[in-house]
Structure 1
Amino acid sequence: MRKTLILLTTCAVLLTGCGGGGKGSEQPSSTATAKSTASAGATETTEATATESEGSANVKIKPEQIGQALIDGKYKEIYEQLSAEFQKQITREQLVEVIESVHEGVKAWNPNSQLVVNGNNQYTLVSQDGKIGVVYTMDEENRITGMRFIPLESFPESDNSLTKLAYGVPFTGEWYVFWGGRDVLSNYHYEFEMQRYAYDIIQVKEGSSYKGDASKNESYYAFGQPVLAPREGTIVRVVNDIKDNVPVGVMNEEAPAGNVVVIDHGNGEFSFLAHLQEGSAKVAVGDKVAKGDPVGLCGNSGNSSEPHLHYQVSDNADLFAGKSIRVQWEEGLDPRQGETIVH
């Protein structure tokens, strides 16, 4: 099991999807484009948890400068930029010890992904050799509220094996990639073979995924939006009676995928469209669907922390028995965390 050195963990940026490695954890023909909102992180486990609070020093290092500050050994400046609560959990000496323990051989930190939603700013960087990643979170005043160093593992064989068929995006409008990519920094699914190339996708307007009461599903822009067949196929599984989680944040680990539609596209490729709204499925087992046909509505059922669409292609109609396959998207798309897909 991968060991991670955790300096501080902020849970606010986490969107939970179908889960991890077991049952208890879990397109239209018009042009689609992807636009990046930004491009911008290890070993005995040590945890120090805290909440965001007032910082204790002048903010000098900008988010995009953290990697270079680490390379330049500006540990004092980094420490002074930690939030007050973070500083309560770790001394400057401890911070230096942690960084130096993982920093040997690191000559550069390359921008990897950036997630900016609901007032949380998460950035990830990868060392020049691809062996170590750092994830850090900063508040709106650029105080550092979280940092993790993670040893990275890659799976080049499956990374380079795309689906035989090409797929359109299973929605219309603008959708934001919360989790998606070929590393565990930008896509927490990547660690688990059965979900390695899955996507968790939300809708964002003016930097937020919701408006109004955050505890209500109806406040979320994604909730109730049409979910479409990404290409033609035959419906082989439908779950339609799982209640949407109320209030938002409560999750159902007993039914990780929640309401789900599974489409057999042939060639051993199956689309999973998960966490659909209760009672919204518009198809039944045995139905034939064409690309762009509505199959249900985006919901918040199953092991889901807020309304979103979990989408992946697998080599088996059983999510937990199959392997995730990297999607060959139409229009040359290769969406990653922090990008907006416009269709």
Structure 2
Amino acid sequence: MNNQFKEQFGRYFLAGEFEEIYEKTAKSFQNLVSFEQFRQLSLDYNSNVSSYTCIVSNTFQGLDRHIWVDETYSKAVVIAYDRQDIIQAIYLKPFATYPNSDQIWTKNTYNMPINDEWYVFWGGTNEFINYHYPYEQQRYAYDLVKMVNNETYKNSTQQNENYYAFGDEVVAPADGVVVEVIDGISDNVPGEMDEENLAGNYCIIAHEHNEFSMIAHFKKDSICVKTGDKVKAGQLLGLCGNSGNSSEAHIHFQVMDHQDFLQAKSLRIKFHGGTEPIQGDFVKPSSASKPQ
């Protein structure tokens, strides 16, 4: 496949070049969707669309993924290529946005709660790069993992200890006071989820301007702060784990307007340096996050 096709996919799709597109799809895709089904779905989807623009291009879970949206930002076409440029997936889905809350940034400036380089697995202002986005309580949350050679683990996926993130340090994203700590919940077997304890082991910190940061899924018995402790940006809170509604070791980080994360509204995070990390980015600690 030439780069022109990938770069101009939106034009091909809108022009009705469905046969050429379908020929580039994987057999597994073709087994799920016949050409006639694909053609009819695509024709219907293109109704009232005058153009598509690619707004995101990244590598996610080993696939080269492009997100195209129409001129009104109401329809999305997501296409994923493997390393041989075979199309493994095409998604046609409404592109939901929340422009009002997208404009509400934190008053405080934060750091990612990390001491070295991590990878943004979920993060951004649409549901295709941030699965939290449709949900008001966690709309601007980040999920961070450790990535080495495009993998989050070494050897087997069956042990938590094989995941690069597991047991790594998690630090305070800003100065504040610890207002809630839950610890003692067992780490999951990778691939299994504890839906009764959504956040697993977690820590909530109160900051100025009535903002609250939440870091979740700590390793069991690793949180080293307690309710009432004053913490400084960059101070150790505990170790990354795989507790709660988590399938593998990662950090869940969000800032919200209320201590109760089930009732709160997630706030878009203003980071030191003016960065706006999204899915596919590698992030490093800001110099501002290092304890003085």
Shorter-chain TM-score above 0.5: yes
1:326 alignment partner in structure 2: 268
Q: Which amino acid aligns with 2:18?
A: Y
Contact 2:118/2:145 (8 A) holds in 1:
yes
Cα RMSD for the two superposed structures: 1.6
**Greater RCO, 1 or 2 (C-alpha within 8 Å, sep 6+):** 1
Contact 1:63/1:142 (8 A) holds in 2:
no
Deviation per CA, 1:294-321: give whole Å up to 9, x if none. 1011111111111111100011111101
Contact 2:170/2:236 (8 A) holds in 1:
yes
The counterpart of 2:95, out of the listed 128, 152, 172, is: 152
1:89 alignment partner in structure 2: 32
1:114: Cα distance to partner? 3.9
Contact 1:106/1:127 (8 A) holds in 2:
yes
1:270: Cα distance to partner? 0.4
Matched, 1:98 2:41: yes
Q: Which runs of 5+ in 2 are unaligned?
A: 286-292
Matches within 5 A, 1:163-312: 163-246=106-189, 248-312=190-254
Contact 2:167/2:239 (8 A) holds in 1:
yes
Q: TM-score, normalised by structure 1?
A: 0.79
Deviation per CA, 1:261-301: give whole Å up to 9, x if none. 10011311000001111111010011110111010111111
Q: Which runs of 5+ in 1 are unaligned?
A: 1-58
Residue 65 of structure 2: SS of its match in structure 1? strand
Contact 1:115/1:178 (8 A) holds in 2:
no
User: Using the alignment, how far apart are the partners of 2:68 and 2:60 within structure 1?
Assistant: 18
User: Using the alignment, how far apart are the partners of 2:107 and 2:256 within structure 1?
Assistant: 12
Mark the CA change 1:206 to 1:117 in structure 2 (over 3 Å): closer, same or farther. farther
Contact 1:217/1:306 (8 A) holds in 2:
yes
Give the paired residue count. Answer: 284
The counterpart of 1:161, out of the listed 70, 84, 104, is: 104
Residue 154 of structure 1: SS of its match in structure 2? coil
Question: Which stretch shows the higher mean deviation, 63-72 or 124-133?
Answer: 63-72
2:72 alignment partner in structure 1: 129
Q: TM-score, normalised by structure 2?
A: 0.92
Contact 1:133/1:185 (8 A) holds in 2:
no
Mark the CA change 1:65 to 1:278 in structure 2 (over 3 Å): closer, same or farther. farther
Deviation per CA, 1:223-278: give whole Å up to 9, x if none. 111111011111111111111111x1111101011110100113110000011111
1:147: Cα distance to partner? 1.7
